Structure 1
Amino acid sequence: MKRSSETSDDSLTPSQQMISSCSGAILTSVFVTPLDVVKIRLQAQSKPQAFTKGHCYLYCNGLMDHTCVCLNGNTVNLSVNAKSWQKNWYKRPGNFNGMFDALYRIGRNEGITSLWSGLPPTLVMAVPATVVYFTSYDQIKTALSHSYNIPVHTWWIPVVSGSSARVFAATVISPLELIRTKMQSEQLTYRQVREAVRTTIQQDGSLSLWRGLAPTLLRDVPFSALYWLSYEMMKAKVMKDGQSTKLSFVESFVSGACAGTLAGIVTLPFDVIKTHRQIELGEVVFAKEKKEVSSTWKLIQNLYRQQGIKALFTGLAPRVMKVAPACAIMISTYEHCKLFFRQRNLELQENR
C-alpha cells in the first residue's frame, strides 16, 4: 500500500520539528496562562483556606501541570518586597464577579503583565516537555509508516506513536519536575539541590526521582492516544474531501480543538485521579517529616466511597475550556511552522 506523502514529515529535520513544537508551546503558554491565573485568583477569594501556608494547589495551563505551594500565609506589600509579591501572585486580594470581570480588573489595577504571573514555571518545564513530546511523536509516526509501508493516518499508528511519545517525554521530564518542585518549596540553591537529590537517592533509591510518574501516565497516555487518533483521522478526512495536500491554519485549529475536546471528555476520570494524586505527592515533597503516600487504587476507592461515581467526573467544563484552546493553538502553530519549513526546504532543493 502506498504511503500518504502529504502527511509525511520526511522532508523535515528533527531540529525543524523541535523549533516548530517550541513555537507552539510558547504561543500556547502565552495565550492560555491568563485563563488559569484568573481561575486561581477566583478560587483564592472563594476558598482562602485552601491557600494557607504549606498547602499545595495545582497550576495547569493546558500544556503541563505544576504542583505549587503557598509559601506565605500573608499577602506582601509590593513596595516592600517585589520578589515576594511576585512569588505570591495567587494571594493578591480582589472581589471579582466572574472570569471577564477578573480579567479586566486585574489588568487595570495590577498591570497587564499580572495576567501572566504564572508563566515562568511553564516556560521552564512545559516548553522542553512539549518539544520532546511532539518531536518524538513525529519521529515514531514516520518510522512506523516506513516500516510497514502504510499511510501515517492508519488508525493504530497515531495511537502507538502518541502513547509512546507521551511515555518517553513524561519519563524524561518527571525527575526535573520533582527537583523544580523541591526548589520551590525550600528555596534551595543548585548545590543544595544536588545534595538533596543525592540524599533522596541514597535513602529511597534512584526510582524515587520518578515519584508521581504513574498517575501522570494514567491520564496522559490515554489522552495522547485518543487525541492523536482523532486528529489524524479528521486531518485525513479534511484533506481527502478537499483534495488538498495540506491543512490550512483554520482547519488544523478546528481539528485540534475537536480532538482535544473529545480526548478531554473521555479521559476526565483519569484527570480527576491524577489531580488528587499530584497534590498529595506535592504535599509529601513539601513536608518536613516523612508522610505516607496512599496508592492510586486506594485514592480511587476513597473518592468513590466519599462522593460516589460523580466524583470522577467533576470539573468537565473547566477542563474542556482549557484543553480545547490549548490543543487548537498548539497543533495549528506546530503544523503551520512545519509547513513553513517544508516550503523552505523545497525552495532550497530547487535552487541547487
Structure 2
Amino acid sequence: MELSLAHPAIKAFMCGSLSGTCSTLLFQPLDLIKTRLQTLQSGVQPGSGRVGMVTVLLSVVRTEKLLGLWKGVSPSFVRTIPGVGIYFSTYYSLKQHFLQDDRPGAMGAALLGAGARTVAGVFMLPVTVIKTRFECGRYSYRSVVGALRSVCQTEGPAALFSGLMATLLRDVPFSGIYVMFYSQAKATLPKEISTSPSAPLANFSCGILAGVLASLITQPADVVKTHVQVNPQLRTAEAIRYIYMEHGLQGFFRGAVPRSLRRTMMAAMAWTVYEQMMAHIGLKS
C-alpha cells in the first residue's frame, strides 16, 4: 500500500515527533542527573532524594557549565524525534487495526502501549546506548555519528544493542502501564471536562498520575539498563548482581526522583500535545 503525507499513520508520526522534540528539550537535564546518579562509583555516596539530585546538579554546573546539563541532548533528539514518532504511529496503526473506533479497555490499552514501545525500543536502541554514554560523562564522544562509528570499530556492532533485554523490561512495561492508567483515568473524567477548553490540562493531570505509577514500578530495570549500556561487558544478570552487592536493594532505585519527574512530565506532555494535534488535523487519537 502506498503511503503519502496525507496517510493517518504518517500524520501520527509527525505529531508524535513534534511532541517528543518539545519534551526532550525541556527535560534533558533531569535525564542527565538520573544517569549520573545511577553510575556513581561505589565509593561515592550520592545521598538520597533531593540532596543527591542537588549535589549532582551543582557538580555538573560547576565543572561543565550550565550547558553541561544538556549534554547528550543531540543523541536524545536523534533518538526521540523518530522514536516517539514511531511509537505513536505504531500505536495509532495497532489501534486502528484491532479496535477501529472502539475505546480500549484496561488490558487492550496496556497491550497497545506495550506493542508500540517494543517496536520503537528495538529500532532506536543503538541511539539509546550512545545517549546513555554521552550522559554518564565517562566517554569523550564528539558527535552521535562519531560515537556510533567508534563503538562499531572498538567494540563491534553488537555493543550498540547492549542492554536490549533490560531496556525492553523497562520500556515495554512502562508504556503498557502508562497507557493503561492514562486511558482509564481519562475515561473517568466527566464529559463536560473532556469537551471543555480545560481538556488539555485535565489530560495532562491524568498523564502525571499514570507516569508516576509507571516510573516507580519500572525503576529497577532502568538502573540495570544504564549499567549494562555504560559497561557493555556486563550481562543483565551480572549487572543485577553487581548493583545488589555494591549498593544493596536501594541501589535499584538510584535516580528514581529525577527519572520519575522526567518520564512523567515527558510522557504527559507528549500525549497531551499528540492528542491535541491529532484532534486539530481531524484524527481520533
The TM-score normalised by the length of structure 1 is 0.60
Bigger helix fraction: 2
Q: How does 1:36-185 map to 2 (within 5 A)?
A: 36=31, 39=33, 98=54, 116=70, 118-146=72-100, 151-177=102-128
1:304 equivalent to 2:251? Answer: no
Q: Distance in 2 between matches of 1:36 and 1:154?
A: 32
Aligned residues: 262
Match of 2:254 among 314, 335, 350: 314
In structure 2, give the amino acid aligned to 1:236: A
Q: Distance in 2 between matches of 1:198 and 1:170?
A: 23
Bigger mean CA offset, 208-217 vs 172-181:
172-181
Match of 1:333 among 252, 256, 273: 273
Bigger mean CA offset, 294-303 vs 191-200:
191-200
In structure 2, give the amino acid aligned to 1:331: W
Instruction: Identify if the C-alpha distance between structure 1 residues 199 and 263 changes in structure 2 by more than 3 Å, giving closer, same or farther.
Output: closer
Specify every segment of 5 or more residues in structure 1 that has no aligned partner in the other structure, as ranges. Answer: 1-10, 51-96, 282-292, 346-352
Instruction: Identify if the C-alpha distance between structure 1 residues 234 and 298 changes in structure 2 by more than 3 Å, giving closer, same or farther.
Output: same
Quote how far apart the aligned CAs of 1:213 are.
1.3
Match of 2:163 among 202, 206, 212: 212
CA deviation string 1:232-277 (max 9, x = no partner): 1111111557574998110111111111111001112212222222
Q: Distance in 1 between matches of 2:144 and 2:68?
A: 26
1:23 equivalent to 2:44? Answer: no
Q: Distance in 2 between matches of 1:221 and 1:331?
A: 17
In 1, are the aligned partners of 2:31 and 2:259 still within 8 Å (CA)? no
Instruction: Identify if the C-alpha distance between structure 1 residues 245 and 141 changes in structure 2 by more than 3 Å, giving closer, same or farther.
Output: farther
Instruction: Identify if the C-alpha distance between structure 1 residues 324 and 191 changes in structure 2 by more than 3 Å, giving closer, same or farther.
Output: closer
Quote how far apart the aligned CAs of 1:224 are.
0.9
Q: Which structure is larger by alpha-carbon Rg, 1 or 2?
A: 1
1:268 equivalent to 2:219? Answer: yes
Percent identity between matched residues is: 25
Instruction: Identify if the C-alpha distance between structure 1 residues 246 and 231 changes in structure 2 by more than 3 Å, giving closer, same or farther.
Output: farther
In 2, are the aligned partners of 1:12 and 1:341 still within 8 Å (CA)? no
Instruction: Tell me how large the CA RMSD over aligned residues is.
Output: 4.3
In 1, are the aligned partners of 2:133 and 2:230 still within 8 Å (CA)? no
Aligned twin of 1:89: none
Q: Distance in 2 between matches of 1:188 and 1:317?
A: 29
The TM-score normalised by the length of structure 2 is 0.73
Aligned twin of 2:204: 253
Q: Distance in 1 between matches of 2:194 and 2:150?
A: 59
Quote how far apart the aligned CAs of 1:228 are.
0.7
In structure 2, give the amino acid aligned to 1:341: I
CA deviation string 1:200-249 (max 9, x = no partner): 77xxxx76653331111121111111011111111111155757499811
In 2, are the aligned partners of 1:153 and 1:233 still within 8 Å (CA)? no
